[in-house]
Amino acid sequence: MRIMGLDYGTKTVGVAISDALGLTAQGIETIQRKEENKLRRTLARIEELVREYEVDTIVLGFPKHMNNDVGERAKKSLEFKEMLVRRTGLDVVMWDERLTTVEAERTLIEMLSSAKVTNPEDLIISQEELDDIERNIGHILSELEWEVLEGYLDGRSYQEMAEVTDRSVKSIDNALQRVKRKLEKYLEHRGFGFSKEATQEG
């Protein structure tokens, strides 16, 4: 499952995509337009990104007033939502922008996370097992995949990792997907027994 987040402005649309691990969203592009109502190329570019990243849900910012009134900007966002639905055929969820940053991050993570841990003991790994996993990861990941994983764990954006590795943002995304598949396969082999639901790719 991939979620696309859109920040609709008067002359720009910011685009973010949920990462391959399904934990966070990465900003990937800002689509520019010369006039506010000239949206044909903007919608066409969004369609391209939907196909490229295999998006199945779009989250669109909904700038309501603090008193819950729907002003002009919010009305334009609703109009843009209808355009997106017609062009992409996807579900478009309106995101209340009045949420605080912490609340928004928490809710987004909940939306993106498909894994449901029912038994906390399943998360306990002994130090010996952890050391063994760390040793073996170096053997199953390529140099690029290892570099991307380290960058991801350090909190770097896709753009930052692309610049460091001299690769495209899409190449970074693909590498992170491969990392996820390899780690899931390794952990399943080690007997950590993730279900299909828990390891469903984003």
What is the domain partition of the chain in residue ranges?
3-112, 120-189
Residue with tokens 């196909």: 51
Q: What is the mean pLDDT of the chain?
A: 77
Residues 16-40 pLDDT 10s: 998 767 677 788 899 999 888 889 9
Q: Which CATH number fits domain 120-189: 3.90.550.10, 3.30.70.100, 1.10.10.10, 3.60.40.10?
A: 1.10.10.10
How many whole angstroms from its chain centre is CA 46?
Answer: 15
The least confident of 1-10, 64-73, 127-136 is 127-136
Q: Which CATH number fits domain 3-112: 3.40.50.1860, 3.40.190.10, 2.30.33.40, 3.30.420.140?
A: 3.30.420.140
- Provide the percentage of residues in the chain whose pLDDT is more than 70: 69
CA separation for the pair 3, 162 (Å, rounded) = 21
How many whole angstroms from its chain centre is CA 152?
Answer: 12
Higher per-residue pLDDT: 46 or 201? 46
Residue 108 in tokens: 């987004």
Residues 135-183 pLDDT 10s: 667 678 888 888 888 788 777 788 888 888 899 988 998 888 888 888 7
CA separation for the pair 111, 109 (Å, rounded) = 5
CA separation for the pair 48, 180 (Å, rounded) = 24
pTM of the model: 0.55
pLDDT of residue 129: 58
Residues 187-199 pLDDT 10s: 777 665 444 443 3
62 Cβ contact partners less than 8 Å away, ≥ 6 residues apart: 74, 77, 78, 94, 95, 96, 97
Higher per-residue pLDDT: 98 or 118? 98
pLDDT of residue 90: 94
